[in-house]
Amino acid sequence: MNTRLSIDSANASKHFYLEPLAPEKAIGNFNCSVGEYNEYLVEDAPRSQKDHIAKTWFLRELRTDLPAAYISLIADAIKLSFTEKELHDLNYPFKTIPAMKIAKLAVDNAFAGKYKGLGSLMIQTAERLAWGCNNDYCACRFLTVDADIEHNEGVRTFYEKNGFLLNSELYNKNRKTLSMRKDLYR
């Protein structure tokens, strides 16, 4: 029997709060299924944030104050084919359209065993931050991600369930990732 509690934007604040990475604050033994994503938190995430290369947000459980999930976000620009531009009704001559990219996203295994929907909640969090950026600072039409199929074969399904589409410029050179996008306004 699956007894995981479903978390969504309606009940998230009863159990979790969001805050940016603060080097002085403990991250506990964050452990998702991809070792590289755990190691990233130790040195690369604080360094990237200090150098304004990637901003990391933690979702912390209210009861334990431990990070249940994290997401690192960066500015991006996405190339769309003619057909893709038509699909999004973006009839502009520019080669690229502004976007916000999910550079890293992970959910801790122990919390994934307790709660369902944390990965999706982190995507909704990124959407909210991108909408805020549009409202107050600068334009950004898409959320983008290079979905890591090397470490997580099913991750394409996860992003599709969260409204992402495959880009026509699909793969990186090593074909370890799938380039995907989500329109923030359609």
Ligand X SMILES: CC(C)(COP(=O)(O)OP(=O)(O)OC[C@H]1O[C@@H](n2cnc3c(N)ncnc32)[C@H](O)[C@@H]1OP(=O)(O)O)[C@@H](O)C(=O)NCCC(=O)NCCS
Classify residue 175 as left (phi > 0), alpha (psi -120 to 50) or beta: left
Does position 67 interact with ligand X (CB under 6 A)? The reply is: no
The amino acid sitting at 156 is: R
Instruction: Pick the closer one to ligand X by CB: 32 or 130.
Output: 32
Does position 140 interact with ligand X (CB under 6 A)? The reply is: no
Query: What token pair was written down for 26?
Result: 């403990």
- List the alpha helices (DSSP H) in the chain: 12-15, 35-42, 44-50, 82-87, 109-114, 118-136, 155-161
The only residue of 16, 45, 68, 117 in contact with ligand X, by rule CB under 6 A: 117
Instruction: Return the bridge partners of 34, or none.
Output: none
Instruction: Pick the closer one to ligand X by CB: 84 or 160.
Output: 160
Closest CA to 26 of 63, 60, 76, 73: 60
Q: Shortest distance, CB of residue 66 to ligand X, whole angstroms? A: 15
Q: Shortest distance, CB of residue 33 to ligand X, whole angstroms? A: 5
Q: Shortest distance, CB of residue 11 to ligand X, whole angstroms? A: 14
The only residue of 41, 78, 118, 143 in contact with ligand X, by rule CB under 6 A: 118
Work out the burial of residue 152: count CB atoms within 10 Å of its CB; fewer than 13 is exposed, 13-18 middle, 19 or more buried: middle
Does position 154 interact with ligand X (CB under 6 A)? The reply is: yes
Closest CA to 148 of 162, 137, 158, 161: 158
Q: Shortest distance, CB of residue 160 to ligand X, whole angstroms? A: 8
Where in 31-50 is the site for ligand X (CB under 6 A)? Answer: 32-34, 37
Q: Shortest distance, CB of residue 144 to ligand X, whole angstroms? A: 11
Per the CB < 8 A criterion, the answer to whether 184 and 143 are in contact is yes
Q: Which residues form the interface with ligand X (CB under 6 A)?
A: 32-34, 37, 105-107, 112, 116-120, 145, 147-148, 151-152, 154-155, 157-158, 161
